[in-house]
Structure 1
Amino acid sequence: MFEAAAVLETLAALRGREVWIAGGWGIDALVGRVTRTHNDLDLLHRAEEEPAVIAALETLGYTERTEGVVPGRPARFVMAEPGGRELDLHPLHFRPDGSALQRLDDHGGAFTYPAAAFAAGVIEGVPVPCLSVAQQVTFHQGYQPRERDLHDMARLREAFGIATHF
Protein backbone atom coordinates (compact mmCIF):
# COMPACT_ATOMS: atom_id res chain seq x y z
CA MET A 1 0.00 0.00 0.00
CA PHE A 2 1.21 3.51 -0.82
CA GLU A 3 0.37 5.95 2.01
CA ALA A 4 0.18 9.76 1.87
CA ALA A 5 3.41 10.09 3.87
CA ALA A 6 5.24 7.99 1.26
CA VAL A 7 3.89 10.21 -1.54
CA LEU A 8 5.20 13.31 0.21
CA GLU A 9 8.54 11.61 0.98
CA THR A 10 8.88 10.70 -2.70
CA LEU A 11 8.10 14.24 -3.83
CA ALA A 12 10.60 15.63 -1.30
CA ALA A 13 13.31 13.36 -2.73
CA LEU A 14 12.43 14.67 -6.20
CA ARG A 15 12.58 18.34 -5.19
CA GLY A 16 14.10 20.34 -8.04
CA ARG A 17 12.72 17.92 -10.66
CA GLU A 18 9.49 18.53 -12.53
CA VAL A 19 7.05 15.72 -11.77
CA TRP A 20 3.25 15.45 -11.72
CA ILE A 21 1.07 12.99 -9.85
CA ALA A 22 -1.40 11.02 -11.96
CA GLY A 23 -3.70 8.06 -11.37
CA GLY A 24 -5.57 7.57 -8.12
CA TRP A 25 -3.26 9.75 -6.06
CA GLY A 26 -3.75 12.46 -8.70
CA ILE A 27 -7.51 12.26 -8.12
CA ASP A 28 -7.04 12.46 -4.36
CA ALA A 29 -4.70 15.46 -4.78
CA LEU A 30 -7.36 17.26 -6.83
CA VAL A 31 -10.07 16.45 -4.30
CA GLY A 32 -7.74 17.45 -1.46
CA ARG A 33 -8.16 14.33 0.67
CA VAL A 34 -7.39 10.62 0.64
CA THR A 35 -10.49 8.83 -0.63
CA ARG A 36 -9.24 5.24 -1.01
CA THR A 37 -6.22 2.99 -0.61
CA HIS A 38 -3.56 3.12 -3.33
CA ASN A 39 -1.29 0.30 -4.48
CA ASP A 40 1.19 2.54 -6.27
CA LEU A 41 2.06 6.10 -7.21
CA ASP A 42 1.89 7.24 -10.83
CA LEU A 43 4.37 10.01 -11.64
CA LEU A 44 5.00 11.84 -14.88
CA HIS A 45 8.40 13.47 -15.35
CA ARG A 46 10.40 15.38 -17.92
CA ALA A 47 12.23 12.80 -20.03
CA GLU A 48 15.45 14.82 -20.00
CA GLU A 49 15.45 14.70 -16.19
CA GLU A 50 15.08 10.92 -16.05
CA PRO A 51 18.66 10.14 -14.89
CA ALA A 52 18.28 12.59 -11.98
CA VAL A 53 14.78 11.27 -11.17
CA ILE A 54 16.07 7.69 -11.08
CA ALA A 55 19.07 8.68 -8.93
CA ALA A 56 16.80 10.48 -6.45
CA LEU A 57 14.46 7.51 -6.20
CA GLU A 58 17.38 5.13 -5.71
CA THR A 59 18.25 7.08 -2.53
CA LEU A 60 14.86 5.92 -1.20
CA GLY A 61 15.69 2.29 -2.04
CA TYR A 62 13.81 2.04 -5.35
CA THR A 63 15.17 -0.01 -8.24
CA GLU A 64 13.76 -0.50 -11.71
CA ARG A 65 11.58 -3.59 -12.13
CA THR A 66 11.25 -4.98 -15.65
CA GLU A 67 9.50 -8.30 -15.03
CA GLY A 68 5.78 -8.13 -15.81
CA VAL A 69 5.81 -4.46 -16.83
CA VAL A 70 3.54 -4.17 -19.89
CA PRO A 71 3.73 -1.88 -21.68
CA GLY A 72 7.25 -0.97 -20.73
CA ARG A 73 9.67 1.56 -22.08
CA PRO A 74 9.46 4.00 -23.76
CA ALA A 75 5.86 4.58 -22.52
CA ARG A 76 6.54 3.86 -18.86
CA PHE A 77 8.69 2.00 -16.39
CA VAL A 78 8.25 0.76 -12.83
CA MET A 79 10.50 1.21 -9.82
CA ALA A 80 9.91 -0.76 -6.61
CA GLU A 81 11.38 -0.70 -3.13
CA PRO A 82 11.99 -3.69 -0.85
CA GLY A 83 8.90 -2.90 1.25
CA GLY A 84 6.70 -3.48 -1.81
CA ARG A 85 5.81 0.09 -2.80
CA GLU A 86 5.85 0.75 -6.55
CA LEU A 87 6.19 3.84 -8.69
CA ASP A 88 4.76 3.87 -12.21
CA LEU A 89 6.89 6.44 -14.07
CA HIS A 90 5.93 8.11 -17.36
CA PRO A 91 8.56 10.16 -19.25
CA LEU A 92 7.26 13.23 -21.08
CA HIS A 93 8.83 15.20 -23.91
CA PHE A 94 7.73 18.84 -23.66
CA ARG A 95 7.08 21.14 -26.57
CA PRO A 96 7.69 24.92 -26.57
CA ASP A 97 3.94 25.58 -26.13
CA GLY A 98 3.86 23.67 -22.80
CA SER A 99 2.16 20.56 -24.19
CA ALA A 100 3.95 17.23 -23.85
CA LEU A 101 4.27 13.91 -25.67
CA GLN A 102 4.47 10.52 -24.03
CA ARG A 103 6.07 8.09 -26.46
CA LEU A 104 4.06 4.88 -26.56
CA ASP A 105 6.39 2.82 -28.74
CA ASP A 106 9.51 3.07 -30.88
CA HIS A 107 7.45 3.53 -34.07
CA GLY A 108 6.18 7.07 -33.56
CA GLY A 109 3.10 6.30 -31.44
CA ALA A 110 2.55 8.98 -28.82
CA PHE A 111 -0.05 10.44 -26.48
CA THR A 112 -0.32 14.24 -26.30
CA TYR A 113 -0.91 16.11 -23.06
CA PRO A 114 -2.22 19.65 -23.64
CA ALA A 115 -0.45 22.41 -21.71
CA ALA A 116 -3.57 22.78 -19.54
CA ALA A 117 -3.17 19.16 -18.34
CA PHE A 118 -0.66 20.19 -15.68
CA ALA A 119 -2.24 21.47 -12.49
CA ALA A 120 -1.86 21.46 -8.71
CA GLY A 121 -3.61 19.69 -5.87
CA VAL A 122 -3.12 19.02 -2.17
CA ILE A 123 -2.09 15.95 -0.18
CA GLU A 124 -2.20 16.18 3.63
CA GLY A 125 -2.29 19.98 3.35
CA VAL A 126 0.81 20.10 1.12
CA PRO A 127 0.47 21.58 -2.39
CA VAL A 128 1.55 19.04 -5.03
CA PRO A 129 1.80 19.04 -8.84
CA CYS A 130 -0.73 16.77 -10.53
CA LEU A 131 -2.81 16.31 -13.66
CA SER A 132 -5.88 18.49 -14.15
CA VAL A 133 -9.48 17.41 -13.62
CA ALA A 134 -10.08 17.49 -17.39
CA GLN A 135 -7.04 15.29 -18.06
CA GLN A 136 -8.10 12.79 -15.40
CA VAL A 137 -11.56 12.56 -16.97
CA THR A 138 -10.00 12.05 -20.42
CA PHE A 139 -7.90 9.17 -19.08
CA HIS A 140 -11.00 7.50 -17.67
CA GLN A 141 -12.76 7.16 -21.03
CA GLY A 142 -12.78 4.48 -23.71
CA TYR A 143 -12.58 1.36 -21.55
CA GLN A 144 -14.69 -0.69 -19.16
CA PRO A 145 -14.22 1.04 -15.78
CA ARG A 146 -12.99 -0.89 -12.78
CA GLU A 147 -14.47 -0.34 -9.33
CA ARG A 148 -11.68 2.10 -8.42
CA ASP A 149 -12.29 4.07 -11.65
CA LEU A 150 -15.97 4.44 -10.73
CA HIS A 151 -14.92 5.56 -7.25
CA ASP A 152 -12.43 8.11 -8.61
CA MET A 153 -14.88 9.63 -11.09
CA ALA A 154 -17.55 9.85 -8.38
CA ARG A 155 -15.11 11.83 -6.21
CA LEU A 156 -14.43 14.26 -9.10
CA ARG A 157 -18.17 14.66 -9.71
CA GLU A 158 -18.74 15.43 -6.02
CA ALA A 159 -15.84 17.87 -5.76
CA PHE A 160 -16.13 19.66 -9.08
CA GLY A 161 -19.67 19.01 -10.34
CA ILE A 162 -18.40 17.60 -13.62
CA ALA A 163 -20.21 15.16 -15.87
CA THR A 164 -18.50 11.84 -16.56
CA HIS A 165 -19.51 9.01 -18.85
CA PHE A 166 -19.89 6.49 -16.01
Structure 2
Amino acid sequence: MDEAPGTGAAEVARIIDRVEACGAVYQVNGGWGVDGLVGRQTRPHRDLDIVLDDAHETGLVSWLESRGYRVQEDWRPVRVELAGPDGRVDVHPMRLDVYGDGIQQGLGEDQFLHAARDRTLGRIGGRAVVVATAGHQRALRRGYPLRDVDRHDLAQLDRWEASRR
Protein backbone atom coordinates (compact mmCIF):
# COMPACT_ATOMS: atom_id res chain seq x y z
CA MET A 1 0.00 0.00 0.00
CA ASP A 2 2.23 2.80 -1.24
CA GLU A 3 -0.47 5.41 -1.65
CA ALA A 4 -2.55 6.33 1.37
CA PRO A 5 -4.98 9.21 1.67
CA GLY A 6 -3.93 12.33 3.50
CA THR A 7 -4.08 12.19 7.27
CA GLY A 8 -7.05 14.17 8.57
CA ALA A 9 -7.71 15.81 11.90
CA ALA A 10 -10.05 13.05 13.10
CA GLU A 11 -7.35 10.42 12.58
CA VAL A 12 -4.76 12.60 14.31
CA ALA A 13 -7.14 12.90 17.28
CA ARG A 14 -7.61 9.09 17.41
CA ILE A 15 -3.86 8.53 17.40
CA ILE A 16 -3.23 11.17 20.07
CA ASP A 17 -6.02 9.67 22.20
CA ARG A 18 -4.17 6.35 22.06
CA VAL A 19 -0.77 7.91 22.79
CA GLU A 20 -2.11 9.83 25.77
CA ALA A 21 -4.03 6.81 27.11
CA CYS A 22 -0.69 4.96 27.25
CA GLY A 23 0.90 7.82 29.19
CA ALA A 24 3.55 8.52 26.56
CA VAL A 25 5.47 11.77 26.33
CA TYR A 26 5.08 13.07 22.77
CA GLN A 27 4.95 16.10 20.55
CA VAL A 28 3.43 16.66 17.14
CA ASN A 29 5.84 18.16 14.63
CA GLY A 30 5.67 18.88 10.92
CA GLY A 31 2.66 20.43 9.24
CA TRP A 32 0.17 19.18 11.82
CA GLY A 33 2.44 20.61 14.53
CA VAL A 34 2.25 24.04 12.91
CA ASP A 35 -1.51 23.78 12.36
CA GLY A 36 -1.94 22.62 15.95
CA LEU A 37 0.01 25.62 17.19
CA VAL A 38 -1.98 28.11 15.10
CA GLY A 39 -5.19 26.32 16.12
CA ARG A 40 -6.66 25.46 12.72
CA GLN A 41 -5.94 23.33 9.69
CA THR A 42 -4.33 25.48 7.01
CA ARG A 43 -3.50 22.83 4.40
CA PRO A 44 -3.91 19.10 3.63
CA HIS A 45 -1.41 16.85 5.40
CA ARG A 46 0.22 13.78 3.90
CA ASP A 47 1.10 12.40 7.33
CA LEU A 48 1.27 12.93 11.06
CA ASP A 49 4.80 13.48 12.36
CA ILE A 50 4.98 12.43 15.99
CA VAL A 51 8.01 12.33 18.25
CA LEU A 52 7.32 9.75 20.94
CA ASP A 53 8.94 8.40 24.09
CA ASP A 54 10.80 5.34 22.75
CA ALA A 55 9.34 3.16 25.52
CA HIS A 56 5.96 3.48 23.72
CA GLU A 57 7.08 3.14 20.09
CA THR A 58 6.46 -0.61 19.79
CA GLY A 59 3.01 -0.30 21.34
CA LEU A 60 1.98 2.53 19.01
CA VAL A 61 3.27 0.70 15.93
CA SER A 62 1.42 -2.49 16.98
CA TRP A 63 -1.80 -0.55 17.57
CA LEU A 64 -1.51 1.16 14.18
CA GLU A 65 -0.89 -2.22 12.51
CA SER A 66 -4.01 -3.61 14.22
CA ARG A 67 -5.93 -0.80 12.45
CA GLY A 68 -4.60 -1.71 9.01
CA TYR A 69 -1.45 0.38 8.87
CA ARG A 70 1.67 -1.21 7.38
CA VAL A 71 5.32 -0.19 7.68
CA GLN A 72 6.45 1.65 4.54
CA GLU A 73 9.92 2.77 5.68
CA ASP A 74 11.80 1.39 8.65
CA TRP A 75 14.84 3.43 9.60
CA ARG A 76 14.69 2.62 13.30
CA PRO A 77 15.94 3.94 15.60
CA VAL A 78 15.62 7.14 13.53
CA ARG A 79 12.00 6.76 12.37
CA VAL A 80 9.37 4.36 11.10
CA GLU A 81 6.66 5.42 8.65
CA LEU A 82 3.38 3.56 8.38
CA ALA A 83 0.56 3.92 5.84
CA GLY A 84 -2.98 2.76 6.33
CA PRO A 85 -6.55 3.28 5.25
CA ASP A 86 -6.80 6.54 7.23
CA GLY A 87 -3.45 8.11 6.35
CA ARG A 88 0.21 7.99 7.22
CA VAL A 89 2.08 8.24 10.50
CA ASP A 90 5.78 9.02 10.78
CA VAL A 91 6.93 7.89 14.25
CA HIS A 92 10.18 9.36 15.54
CA PRO A 93 11.25 7.69 18.81
CA MET A 94 13.09 9.78 21.38
CA ARG A 95 14.96 8.67 24.48
CA LEU A 96 13.86 10.68 27.50
CA ASP A 97 16.28 11.90 30.13
CA VAL A 98 15.47 12.62 33.78
CA TYR A 99 14.40 16.19 32.89
CA GLY A 100 11.86 15.08 30.27
CA ASP A 101 14.05 16.20 27.38
CA GLY A 102 14.00 13.85 24.42
CA ILE A 103 16.95 12.83 22.29
CA GLN A 104 16.01 11.60 18.81
CA GLN A 105 18.62 9.62 16.92
CA GLY A 106 19.35 10.97 13.47
CA LEU A 107 21.24 9.37 10.64
CA GLY A 108 24.82 8.49 11.51
CA GLU A 109 25.98 10.33 14.60
CA ASP A 110 23.33 13.08 14.37
CA GLN A 111 21.02 13.58 17.31
CA PHE A 112 18.15 16.00 17.78
CA LEU A 113 17.08 17.52 21.08
CA HIS A 114 13.36 17.85 21.77
CA ALA A 115 13.58 19.74 25.05
CA ALA A 116 10.63 19.69 27.41
CA ARG A 117 10.62 23.51 27.30
CA ASP A 118 9.98 23.29 23.53
CA ARG A 119 6.63 21.54 24.01
CA THR A 120 3.40 23.48 24.30
CA LEU A 121 -0.31 22.89 23.84
CA GLY A 122 -2.09 23.37 20.56
CA ARG A 123 -5.41 22.25 19.09
CA ILE A 124 -6.12 19.74 16.34
CA GLY A 125 -9.63 18.62 15.49
CA GLY A 126 -11.03 20.45 18.49
CA ARG A 127 -8.81 18.72 21.05
CA ALA A 128 -5.70 19.78 22.91
CA VAL A 129 -2.46 18.21 21.69
CA VAL A 130 1.19 18.64 22.58
CA VAL A 131 3.04 20.40 19.76
CA ALA A 132 6.49 21.86 19.31
CA THR A 133 6.83 25.58 20.00
CA ALA A 134 7.13 28.01 17.09
CA GLY A 135 10.88 28.32 17.65
CA HIS A 136 11.35 24.57 17.62
CA GLN A 137 9.11 24.20 14.55
CA ARG A 138 11.37 26.70 12.78
CA ALA A 139 14.54 24.89 13.91
CA LEU A 140 13.18 21.60 12.56
CA ARG A 141 12.95 23.18 9.10
CA ARG A 142 16.64 24.08 8.92
CA GLY A 143 19.32 22.04 7.23
CA TYR A 144 17.43 20.91 4.14
CA PRO A 145 15.99 22.59 1.04
CA LEU A 146 12.56 23.98 1.85
CA ARG A 147 9.58 22.56 0.00
CA ASP A 148 6.41 24.51 -0.78
CA VAL A 149 4.71 23.01 2.30
CA ASP A 150 7.62 24.16 4.49
CA ARG A 151 7.37 27.70 3.15
CA HIS A 152 3.61 27.59 3.78
CA ASP A 153 4.17 26.39 7.36
CA LEU A 154 6.76 29.08 8.06
CA ALA A 155 4.37 31.74 6.73
CA GLN A 156 1.68 30.39 9.08
CA LEU A 157 4.12 30.68 11.99
CA ASP A 158 4.94 34.27 10.94
CA ARG A 159 1.23 35.22 10.91
CA TRP A 160 0.55 33.44 14.20
CA GLU A 161 3.48 35.12 15.95
CA ALA A 162 2.50 38.53 14.55
CA SER A 163 -1.06 38.08 15.86
CA ARG A 164 0.28 37.43 19.36
CA ARG A 165 2.27 40.68 19.59
Q: Which deviations, in whole Å up to 9, do the C-alpha atoms of 1:42-65 show, x marking residues without a partner? A: 111111112222222223222222
Residue from 64, 72, 76 that aligns with 2:71 = 64
Q: Could you state the TM-score of these two structures normalised by the residue count of structure 1? A: 0.85
Which consecutive unaligned segments of at least 5 residues does structure 2 have? 1-5
Q: Which residue pairs with 1:8 in the alignment?
A: 13
2:46 aligned with 1:43, yes or no?
Answer: no
Structure number with higher relative contact order (C-alpha < 8 Å, ≥ 6 residues apart) = 2
Please state whether the residue corresponding to 2:160 is helix, strand or coil. helix
- Deviation at 1:152? 0.5
Residue from 93, 101, 104 that aligns with 2:103 = 101
Q: Which residue pairs with 1:19 in the alignment?
A: 26
Residue from 48, 59, 74 that aligns with 2:77 = 74
Q: Distance in 2 between matches of 1:115 and 1:8?
A: 22
Q: Which residue pairs with 1:113 in the alignment?
A: 114
Which consecutive unaligned segments of at least 5 residues does structure 1 have? none
- Deviation at 1:104? 1.8
Aligned length: 156
Q: Which deviations, in whole Å up to 9, do the C-alpha atoms of 1:133-154 show, x marking residues without a partner? A: 1110111223332111111011
Task: Describe the shift of the 1:142–1:103 C-alpha distance in structure 2 as closer, same or farther (beyond 3 A).
Answer: closer
Q: Distance in 1 between matches of 2:11 and 2:60?
A: 16
Q: Distance in 1 between matches of 2:18 and 2:71?
A: 17
Q: Distance in 2 between matches of 1:84 and 1:128?
A: 19
- Deviation at 1:128? 0.7
Q: Distance in 2 between matches of 1:12 and 1:114?
A: 22
Q: Could you state the TM-score of these two structures normalised by the residue count of structure 2? A: 0.85
Q: Which deviations, in whole Å up to 9, do the C-alpha atoms of 1:59-117 show, x marking residues without a partner? A: 32222223xx6xx2211111111x27211110000111222111124x64322222212
Q: Which residue pairs with 2:140 in the alignment?
A: 139
Q: Which residue pairs with 2:3 in the alignment?
A: none
Give RMSD over aligned pairs: 1.9
Letter in 1 for 2:65: E
